[in-house]
Structure 1
Amino acid sequence: MKLISYTKEGKAGFGAVTADNQVIELTDKITGVDCLATLVGSEAMMGKAEDYVATASASLGLDSVTLEPVIPQPSKIICVGINYVAHAAEAGRKVGQYPVIFQRFADTLQAADAPIIRPIVSHEFDFEAELAVVIGKGGGHIAPEDAMSHVAGYTCFNDSSVRDWQFHTHQYGMGKTFRKTGSLGPWMVTADEIADYRELEIKGLLNGALMQQGSLSELAFDIPHLISYVSQALDWNPGDILATGTPSGIGFKRTPPIFLKPGDVYEVVISQIGTLSNPVADEA
């Protein structure tokens, strides 16, 4: 299934997207499920959703709803830096013994097609195409061999970064936590639709020009390792987001640097999943 969160006439909803871009509404259809994060946290409820979608008719056009980030309010967004060897090389870094972990907040996220915002205080606004994992079953102290059973699905993520603020100190989280700078969507493809995430190919395009390209087989720390590693410190919750890192080609390491500006459009394209597209606008 392809699952979305959306608003329609000011009311929040969630549903499944059909092959012809129609929406089968799931809001209020499954007892005890009030949002997509709740749905993905239960295998039984996901099974009921699949059964419902298999027989229900679409009632909305995808173009008639306003998309929200796939999970509008994840309890945490865990991001991984320097997780492609080629990206580490362009950044002048080496992949270490442990993954580089930082965090985002839910209010930094925008939906597909919504503008990502270049902040007033910096014009060094950069792009980062990534695969994001949506956690289903929660838990802590997860063994790597069990980690994939905690994956509900996959979506596209643009971890757009404010580079000068990122490097104000050696803790570079501030460059990742500006309001409305990241984007997540347009939908989540459920894990059963992806036979092997390592076969996924990722691209980042700026105004149609290829900037970034990589394969998920190139991750220095794979998804099971990352889920397990983080779970030693924090319990994963249903709907949490794990952003797996960006391939090489980022803007600030180019000569001359390329930064996002108002009027640009950046697209994250991942095979078997789809395209996350966002225009760029200046902060008001």
Structure 2
Amino acid sequence: MKLVTIANNGRSTLGVKTDAGIIDVEQAFMQVPAGTDTPANVMQVIEGGDQAVAALQKYISELPAADATYLLNEDDIEWGPCVTEPNKIICIGLNYRKHAEETNAKIPEFPILFNKFNNTLTGHGRDIAVPKVTQKLDYEAELVIVIGKKAKYVSKEDALSHVFGYCNVNDLSARDLQLRTQQWLLGKSCDDFSPLGPYLVTADEIGDPNNLNIKTTVNGEVRQSSNTSDMIFHCDEIVSYVSQHMTLVPGDIILTGTPAGVVMGYPEEKQVYLKPGDVVTIEVEKLGALTNRFVEETV
């Protein structure tokens, strides 16, 4: 199942992608009442797990096909982040071998963890302001793991059973701020630095998360083109490792690192960082395409 968030007058409502278009679940509820077990927003779906997904699938399958007033065209949607209220945003740094090599970094012995905050969340199709405080805004295509079951001290073998699904993110990074100190947080946590989406795709539709093509285009030019198989620490290892140190709960998201091809990895004379007017698209196989346009900050 592919879930979406619809931004609706300051509220986030649930959508489901179908062959016919996006079903606005809130609008559907107004016409066809649902049972109390049918989730009304994306966090309820994640927290409800398999039962919630099954109830939503059953409800969607029984909607009258002739009535399309709750059916939306993707081009007409104002998108929100496909996970709206993660308890934690955990990031894994330097997790692609070729990316570590391009930045002349040592291959990490253990996963490198840092965090972002909810202020960084935005959606597909939304404009993102280039902060006035940076001259070196960089893109990072990443696969996101969305936790679906509470996880503490889980084994690598059991780790993926705690995953609800996956989505795209652009882990935007202000390199001059990131490298100002030994802590990366400042360069990773400006507003709207984690556009997420367009879809949250349930794990059953993905198969092996460590065999997915991943790509970034900037103004139509391919900048990153790789596969998640180049990860140093694979998705099951990441979930297991993080769970040894903190309890993961449904809705937590883990950004799994970026492949080679970021601006920072180019020779200095060829580094052209993002600027107002640029359009960046992140694509991970089976997860759709996440596109954002960059604009001048006016605050």
Give the structure-1-normalised TM-score: 0.94
Q: Deviations over 1:91-130 (max 9, x none)?
A: 1112222001110111112100101221111121000011
The reply to whether residue 260 of structure 1 matches residue 274 of structure 2 is: yes
> Which sits farther off after the overlay, 134-143 or 99-108?
134-143
Instruction: Tell me by how many angstroms 1:64 deviates.
Output: 3.5
Question: After TM superposition, which residue ranges in structure 1, 4 or more long, deviate above 6 angstroms?
Answer: none
Identity of counterpart residues, as a percentage?
Answer: 36
* Contact preservation (8 Å) 2:210, 2:235: no
Gaps of 5+ in 1: none
Instruction: Tell me by how many angstroms 1:281 deviates.
Output: 1.2
The reply to whether residue 60 of structure 1 matches residue 99 of structure 2 is: no
Change beyond 3 A, Cα 1:12–1:182: closer
> Which sits farther off after the overlay, 216-225 or 28-37?
28-37
The reply to whether residue 156 of structure 1 matches residue 168 of structure 2 is: yes
Instruction: Tell me by how many angstroms 1:259 deviates.
Output: 0.5
The reply to whether residue 41 of structure 1 matches residue 47 of structure 2 is: yes
Report what 1:108 is aligned to: 120
The reply to whether residue 4 of structure 1 matches residue 4 of structure 2 is: yes
Taking the TM superposition and a 5 Å limit, the aligned residue runs for 1:1-284 are 1-25=1-25, 29=34, 31=36, 33-42=39-48, 43-56=50-63, 57=65, 59-61=70-72, 62-255=74-267, 256-284=270-298
Instruction: Tell me by how many angstroms 1:151 deviates.
Output: 1.0
* Contact preservation (8 Å) 1:85, 1:94: no
* Contact preservation (8 Å) 2:78, 2:125: no
CA distance in structure 1 between the partners assigned to 2:198 and 2:186 by the alignment: 25
Instruction: Tell me by how many angstroms 1:228 deviates.
Output: 1.0
Instruction: Tell me by how many angstroms 1:253 deviates.
Output: 2.2
CA distance in structure 1 between the partners assigned to 2:271 and 2:83 by the alignment: 32
CA distance in structure 1 between the partners assigned to 2:197 and 2:112 by the alignment: 24
* Contact preservation (8 Å) 2:87, 2:251: yes
* Contact preservation (8 Å) 1:128, 1:160: yes
Secondary structure, in 3 states, of the residue corresponding to 2:281? strand
Q: Deviations over 1:39-96 (max 9, x none)?
A: 1122211221122223325513133331100012211111111111000001111222
Q: Deviations over 1:193-229 (max 9, x none)?
A: 1122222100000001010011111110011111111
Q: Deviations over 1:252-282 (max 9, x none)?
A: 2213212000000000011211100000112
Give the structure-2-normalised TM-score: 0.90
The Cα RMSD (Å) is: 1.7
Aligned pair count?
Answer: 284
Q: Deviations over 1:159-203 (max 9, x none)?
A: 010001101111111100111122110011111111222221000
Secondary structure, in 3 states, of the residue corresponding to 1:44? helix
* Contact preservation (8 Å) 2:82, 2:197: yes
* Contact preservation (8 Å) 1:140, 1:235: yes
* Contact preservation (8 Å) 2:25, 2:40: no
Secondary structure, in 3 states, of the residue corresponding to 2:98? helix
* Contact preservation (8 Å) 1:147, 1:224: yes
Gaps of 5+ in 2: none
Flag the structure with larger Rg: 2
CA distance in structure 2 between the partners assigned to 1:126 and 1:159 by the alignment: 9
> Which sits farther off after the overlay, 211-220 or 38-47?
38-47
* Contact preservation (8 Å) 1:40, 1:238: yes
> Which sits farther off after the overlay, 41-50 or 76-85?
41-50
CA distance in structure 2 between the partners assigned to 1:261 and 1:207 by the alignment: 11
